[in-house]
Amino acid sequence: MQWLALCAAIFTWAHSVHAGAVCSVPDEQKALVTSLQLNMAKSVGPCVPPDPSILLALNLGSKNLNPEARELLIKQLKEDAIKKVSQDLPFTSGKVALYILALRSSCSDPCQISRPNGNLNLVKVLEEKTSAEIKSIENTHSPMTTYYQVALDVLALCVMSSPRAFPAATTLSKAIPPNPSGPAFSVDTAAVAVMGFSCVLSMDTTHTESIKTLKNAQSIMLDLILKQKKSDGTIGNIYSTGLAGQALTAAQLYYPPGSWDCPLTVQKILQQIRQGTFSLPIAAAQVLPFLNGRSYLNVKGMQCQANNATLITVDYTIVNDLTGDYFKHSIQVAVPEGSTLLKVMEKAAEVNPKEFSFSTEETSWGLFITSINNLGGNSNQKTYWQFFSGITPLEEGVSTYKPHNKEHILAIFSKY
């Protein structure tokens, strides 16, 4: 038992060292961070244009808060991306990058956004837009948008492991002057660049001769950030402090320990939360990841259950030989191990909505299936959808029953 406790302690210590949290919000002040997240999430709604930075902040924050806001934003961002791309509406490279980071942080694949006329690959869209930015920098010494957006492009391409992250980072690094100043290289821009460079420097494919250029640019950007520290903990101004904190959290390997008083910066931000400084949702969205000890770079390491979990296959058959036009349809679906039958039915409906769509009713025992394939149970006629594993009726509803690998589930329209 003691041995187990020791192992757990070593694991926790190793884990925290590995995670490398620079500093954290003291427990007694965590409620302030929670309230900031809740307030930010209040800005999400069906009639409000979706902001990818908010979804990103929700995913890098407390996962259990605001699940509805998160789901709505994922849906809105996908629809908005499809609309912008198919109608050729303004969609700058940095904006595309933020959409990609937001969707990836939600475990929703930005390479495959489903739409009726074939999936949309947002990473491909970003690769093309970044190429245009690179050409513009090479030809005119200025990006089409801003270096802030080019830095976002590098970060998002790297998070998605795109080989195009590398040339983009190289171009950006070469564009950084030895003593950058002015709005083109603000603390905000430097912060995003630092996160982008840290990501690319950790890529396996980075070529040795370019590592030097990247590391040099990285250190110029870090210098710029560290020189903008104020005695009260602010870095740049209060609105760049969250991004700067994220960058310094992400790039700990690249600056000497002791060059930054992280707890002082945290305290400054907490004090400003009380004064309402971050009441704009976007302002909250840029500080929240830092207050949670994370940065946009953490999106790269985020594990998604479907990628991680073993998949099982389940055979699913729906049968009506009771009323009207009889039917029998079968499908085999793959779901992560441990999924409920509901997940199997959802997957079947996603693959073949014409035959496997279904509707449900919320009850205290979970979801009750009211209809499948447009055929609904009826209490007057005493009909319902009955579920079986092979020939054995299920003893649980679809939202709690978890099928095992190769199980055959049948839904048979029956009488009671």
Minimum separation from the CB atom of position 189 to ligand B12 (A): 6
Nearest approach in angstroms of CB 146 to ligand B12 is: 4
Cβ proximity to ligand B12, 200 vs 235, nearer residue: 235
In angstroms, give the least distance from the CB of 143 to ligand B12: 10
3-state secondary structure 90-140: CCCHHHHHHHHHHHHHCCCCCCCECCCCCCECHHHHHHHHHHHHHHHHHHH
Minimum CB separation from ligand B12 for residue 73, in Å? 15
Q: How far is Cα 85 from Cα 232, in angstroms, rounded to an integer?
A: 44
For residue 184, give every residue at least 6 positions away whose Cβ sits within 8 Å of its Cβ, in sequence order, or none. Answer: 146, 147
Single-letter code of the amino acid located at 379: S
- Whether 241 contacts 268, CB under 8 Å: yes
In whole angstroms, the minimum distance from the beta carbon of 275 to ligand B12 comes to 13
Q: Measuring CA to CA, how many Å separate 45 from each of 109, 221, 405?
A: 23, 37, 39
Distance of closest approach, residue 276 Cβ to ligand B12, in angstroms: 11
Question: Minimum distance between the CB of residue 202 and ligand B12, rounded to whole angstroms?
Answer: 23
| Minimum distance from residue 280 beta carbon to ligand B12 (Å) | 6
CB nearer to ligand B12: give 148 or 413.
148
Phi-psi region of 229 (alpha: psi -120 to 50; beta: other; left: phi over 0): beta
Give me the least distance between CB of 144 and ligand B12, in Å please: 9
Nearer to ligand B12, 69 or 151 (CB): 151
Chain residues in the site for ligand B12 (CB under 6 A): 92, 94-95, 98, 145-146, 148-149, 183, 186, 188-189, 236-237, 239-240, 243, 280, 283, 286
* Residue 150 or 319 having the CB closest to ligand B12: 150
Distance CA 303, CA 222 (A): 28
Nearer to ligand B12, 94 or 293 (CB): 94
Coil, helix or strand for 350? helix
Please answer whether residues 80 and 115 qualify as being in contact, where contact means their C-beta atoms are separated by less than 8 angstroms.
Answer: no
By DSSP bridging, strand 358-363 and strand 327-336 are: unpaired
Q: What is the Cα–Cα distance from 126 to 162, expressed in whole angstroms?
A: 10
Other C-beta atoms lying within 10 Å of the C-beta of residue 122: 28
Cβ closest to ligand B12, residue 195 vs residue 409: 195
Alpha-carbon distance of 146 to 92, in angstroms, equals 10
Cα(85)–Cα(285) distance, rounded to whole angstroms? 25
Which is nearer to ligand B12, 66 or 240 (by Cβ)? Answer: 240
- Nearer Cβ to ligand B12 (181/310): 181
**What are the phi and psi torsion angles at 133 (to 5°)?**
-65, -45
C-beta atoms surrounding 404 within 10 Å: 10
Residue number of the CB closest to ligand B12 reads 94
Q: Which is nearer to ligand B12, 78 or 347 (CB)?
A: 78
